[in-house]
C-alpha cells in the first residue's frame, strides 16, 4: 500500500528505481522489493521520499503506519475488537 503509493509518485516524477534508490542510498533491488511490499520502508526513508518526490509527508507516514498495523493483524482473529480496545486505550 505505501509501496504502491510511492511507486506512483516515483513514476509521476519520472524517476527510475535506481535513481530514487541512489538518492535514498539503498540497493535498487531493495527498493523494488519495498515498492512491492516485500520489505518495509524505514520511517526516515518515507520522510526523505516525501521531500524528494514533493509529496505530503503526513499522508505518506499515515499510510506507512497503517501498513505496519495491518501487517501485525492480518492473520489474526478478533481484529475489530482489538482495534477498539486500542482506540479506547489511546483516548
Candidate segments 3-11, 15-23, 25-33, 82-90, binder of a second copy by CB under 8 A: 82-90
CA 16 to chain centroid, in Å, comes to 18
Candidate segments 9-17, 24-32, 46-54, 56-64, binder of a second copy by CB under 8 A: 56-64
Place of cell 520489505: 39
Answer with the entry of a second copy, DNA, none that 90 interacts with (C-beta below 5 to 8 A by kind).
Answer: a second copy
61 binds a second copy (CB under 8 A): yes
- 34 contact partners, CB below 8 Å, separation of at least 6: 3, 6, 40, 41, 45
Of 55 and 64, the one with the shorter C-beta distance to DNA is: 64
37 binds a second copy (CB under 8 A): no
Evaluate whether 69 touches 1 at the Cβ level (below 8 Å). no
Evaluate whether 10 touches 20 at the Cβ level (below 8 Å). yes
Distance separating alpha carbons of residues 50 and 60, to the nearest angstrom: 7
* Interacting residues with a second copy (CB under 8 A): 1, 58, 61-63, 65-66, 68-70, 72-73, 76-83, 85-87, 89-90
Amino acid at each position: 500500500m505505501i509501496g504502491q503509493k510511492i511507486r506512483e509518485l516515483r513514476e509521476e516524477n519520472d524517476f527510475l528505481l535506481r535513481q530514487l534508490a541512489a538518492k535514498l542510498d539503498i540497493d535498487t533491488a531493495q527498493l523494488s522489493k519495498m515498492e512491492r511490499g516485500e520489505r518495509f520502508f524505514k520511517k526516515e526513508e518515507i520522510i526523505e521520499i516525501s521531500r524528494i518526490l514533493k509529496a505530503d509527508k503526513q499522508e505518506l507516514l499515515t499510510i506507512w503506519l497503517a501498513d505496519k498495523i495491518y501487517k501485525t493483524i492480518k492473520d489474526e482473529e478478533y481484529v475489530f475488537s482489538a482495534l477498539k480496545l486500542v482506540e479506547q486505550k489511546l483516548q
